[in-house]
């Protein structure tokens, strides 16, 4: 996915989060997603990201592809998300993976959505 398209999508998502009352003043686990053709490549990508603010989960999908969900605790800012997306893409694409975007769970009145 091109950087311009990612920025447009991220801007749209962040705008909707703001409209929904998202608390941008706190750290949140931001989840980044990628799909791989096999487990070995998904795990190699996951292994490139280590640290106390990171968590990676690899799982098989119903179609036989492998899913990587990488969670990074950070502020939900356009620049921070964009910078990490570039780092994520630099690892994922050479391993034959496809970036599936990012997301964050939002707490609304005591529950996550």
112 belongs to a structural domain: no
Task: Give the domain extent around 40.
Answer: 1-10+27-102
pLDDT at 110: 57
Domain count, the chain: 1
Token representation of residue 66:
């492998």
pLDDT digits (tens, 9 = 90+) for 34-47: 999 999 999 999 99
Residue, of 46 and 17, whose pLDDT is higher: 46
Residue 111 domain-assigned?
no
Q: Is residue 17 part of a domain?
A: no
Residue 54 maps to a domain: yes
Q: What is the CATH number of the domain that holds 81?
A: 3.30.70.970
pLDDT at 34 (0 to 100)? 98
Q: Do residues 3 and 78 make contact, with C-beta atoms less than 8 angstroms apart?
A: no
Is 33 part of any domain? yes
Between strands 54-60 and 98-104, the pairing is unpaired
Domain contains 53: yes
- Average pLDDT, stretch 83-96? 96
Q: Note if the pTM is more than 0.85.
A: no
What is the pLDDT at residue 21?
Answer: 86
Find, among 71, 66, 69, the residue nearest to 36 by Cα.
66
Decide if 109 is inside a domain: no
CA distances in angstroms from 27 to 22, 48, 49, 106, listed in the order given: 11, 22, 19, 12
């Amino acid at each position: 996915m091109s950087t311009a398209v990612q920025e447009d999508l991220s801007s749209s998502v962040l705008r909707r989060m703001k409209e929904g009352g998202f608390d941008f003043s706190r750290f949140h686990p931001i989840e980044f997603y990628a799909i791989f053709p096999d487990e070995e490549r998904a795990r190699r990508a996951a292994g490139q990201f280590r640290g106390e603010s990171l968590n990676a989960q690899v799982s098989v999908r119903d179609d036989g592809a492998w899913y990587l969900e990488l969670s990074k605790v950070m502020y939900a800012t356009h620049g921070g998300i964009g910078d990490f997306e570039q780092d994520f893409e630099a690892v994922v694409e050479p391993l034959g993976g496809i970036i599936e975007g990012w997301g964050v769970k939002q707490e609304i009145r005591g529950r996550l959505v």
